[in-house]
Structure 1
Amino acid sequence: MSEGGRERLPETQREHWQQTYGEHPRMYGEEPSAPAVHAAAVFRAAGAHAVLELGAGHGRDALYFAREGFSVLATDFSPVGLEQLRAAGAAQQVAEQLTTAVHDVREPLPLADASVDAVFAHMLLCMALSTPEIRSLVAEVRRVLRPGGVFVYTVRHTADAHYRAGTGHGDDIWEHGGFAVHFFSRDLVDALAEGWNLEEVHAFEEGGLPRKLWRITQTVPVPVPA
């Protein structure tokens, strides 16, 4: 793909998601994803209270975290999706548990150092992000998590049927049906866990095809007293 095409990819993907959420409200349904249910249990066991969700979309998982009693900051680059999330939060009487922010994860996170207990991202890291952008994002997640904080994320990986299908954008990014995906290798997962405690890499399947994903759990090490 041309350099100009790669440079326009983030904006074309933003427009695509805006249109998708506008035309298909609640496109992922009302029920939380299986990874979110798992993450809530992990967060609770770690004593988490403040949760940041990256790429919250219309909010099925953010709403679940709020219903489970967590204080949630839900971010997404789609104002349309977040509008749907806020409306649902009011309807479900969890608005006080929810804060939303329009944010592009290519930019620094709008949070102070060590200010959240847990971070969740379902298929956000495998969007149309370059490897350097993914590394920068994980560094930002590390910055905003407290010591002992938990990061649970999911990504499609290179065993997925859509890997190397459709339009290639380089850097293991392939576009199929208008959606661009960065397919993860295990080497990339391990590289992103450097300096963390890598607790789990769990393989699972979701949706049609089916999509093949990993659910990764890693934690910020707690300093050992001298």
Structure 2
Amino acid sequence: MADEQELAEVQQRHWQDTYTAHPGMYGEAPSRPAVHAAAVFRAAGARDVLELGAGHGRDALFLAREGFTVQATDFSPAGLEQLRDAARSQGVDDRVTTAVHDVRDPLPLPDGSVDAVFAHMLLCMALSTKEIHALVGEVRRVLRPGGVFVYTVRHTGDAHYGAGTAHGDDIFEHGGFAVHFFPRALVDTLAAGWTLDEVHSFEEGELPRRLWRVTQTLPR
């Protein structure tokens, strides 16, 4: 437990320092998963969206521009400050709220309070399998019946899997960033009690990173 806590604290400092040193590091264009999520959420009739691990906000801002009301969380105050500044400059600050939050803790939202949840590469951060299961349980709690969860994770077919510093539990640290690489069995167990709509393989960025985009829906 002490090792997990130490790794979590190191990663939080690392992301805070990274966002501070590189404002807007991912640019303004939304990720491809966010564009997909917007279409899925709209088809499901969603209006209120929670984004986990929003960073400096390129996807949260895109969702707001698409007309959704967005609650954006991240454990980096620096990233969220950049998000709020951008929301004001883009004229969508009336549709975006932010909260500093570590996903190892319960989500600061009431039961059944959002229509959809989006998380791009948040579940594959330095979280243990137990913490990931607890987080998905929290996502289920805050979603309304029929709510949709779209998330992406790097998987065990990624070139960095097994490289760098091993922390156990399929977590490997490379270049200062620790990643929990998902086996397919973990995706399936996280979807227990949901409808697993899609597991889509895609690549992103340099290397390239190999990911799954997962879409699952709560029963009504």
SS in 2 for 1:53: strand
The 2-side partners of 1:5 and 1:199 are apart by 36
Cα deviation digits, residues 44-91 of structure 1 (max 9, x gap): 000000000000000000000000000000000000000000000000
* 2:102 pairs with 1:104: yes
* 2:154 pairs with 1:138: no
Runs of 4+ deviating beyond 2 Å: 3-7
Matched positions, count: 220
Sort the Cα spacing of 1:4 and 1:111 in 2 relative to 1 into closer, same or farther, 3 A: closer
The 2-side partners of 1:57 and 1:206 are apart by 17
* 2:218 pairs with 1:220: yes
In structure 1, list runs of 5 or more residues that go unmatched: none
| 2:188 aligns with one of 181, 187, 190 | 190
The 2-side partners of 1:34 and 1:5 are apart by 34
TM-score (norm 2): 0.99
* 2:5 pairs with 1:10: no
The 1-side partners of 2:2 and 2:136 are apart by 26
SS in 1 for 2:108: coil
Cα deviation digits, residues 18-64 of structure 1 (max 9, x gap): 00000001100110000000000000000000000000000000000
Alignment partner, residue 58 of structure 1: 56
The 1-side partners of 2:88 and 2:43 are apart by 28
Structure-to-structure mapping, 1:1-226, within 5 angstroms: 4-222=2-220
Cα distance, 1:7 vs. partner? 3.0
Q: Percent identity?
A: 75
Cα distance, 1:6 vs. partner? 3.5
The 2-side partners of 1:39 and 1:205 are apart by 17
* 1:160 aligned partner, one-letter code: D
* 1:218 aligned partner, one-letter code: Q
In structure 2, list runs of 5 or more residues that go unmatched: none
* 2:73 aligned partner, one-letter code: T
The 1-side partners of 2:61 and 2:91 are apart by 10
Cα distance, 1:4 vs. partner? 4.5
The 2-side partners of 1:4 and 1:93 are apart by 44
The 2-side partners of 1:90 and 1:169 are apart by 40
* 2:202 aligned partner, one-letter code: F
